[in-house]
């Protein structure tokens, strides 16, 4: 069961989110692509795009590896 400060991966582990990770989690909706997510964070934190992009991609990769998110393929882009 989720806790206010984290997302469980299994019964013995809690995945805590803070800072940028929390913001990324809050805007993951299956509709925004990585570019839109990065743009939103660049505007919010007024940071360099490449720095934000690196952090976002690393964080998303970790979430994917932990099976906390899954990749959505947009059929309109085919």
- Residue 13 is encoded by which pair of tokens? 């582990």
CA-angle at 39, arms to 53 and 43, nearest 5°: 110
Q: What is the pLDDT of residue 3?
A: 40
Per-residue DSSP letter, 20: H
Distances in Å between the Cα of 13 and the Cα atoms of 1, 7, 39, 42, 56 are 11, 9, 31, 31, 22
How high is the pLDDT of residue 47? 87
pLDDT for residue 17 = 78
pLDDT tens track of the chain, all 78 residues? 344 444 555 556 676 777 778 888 888 887 888 999 999 889 888 889 999 999 999 999 988 888 888 887 765 655
pLDDT at position 26: 84
Indicate the pTM of the whole model.
0.70
Among candidates 67, 73, 37, which has minimal Cα distance to 55?
Answer: 37
Run of H or E including 45? helix 34-45
- From the list 13, 35, 76, the residue with the least C-alpha distance to 60 is 35
pLDDT score, position 50: 96
């Amino acid at each position: 069961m989720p806790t206010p400060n984290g997302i469980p991966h299994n019964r013995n582990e809690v995945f805590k989110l803070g800072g940028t990770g929390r913001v990324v989690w809050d805007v993951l909706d299956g509709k925004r692509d990585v570019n839109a997510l990065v743009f939103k964070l660049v505007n919010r934190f007024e940071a360099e795009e490449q720095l934000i992009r690196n952090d976002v991609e690393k964080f998303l990769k970790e979430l994917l590896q932990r099976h906390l998110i899954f990749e959505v393929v947009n059929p309109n882009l085919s």
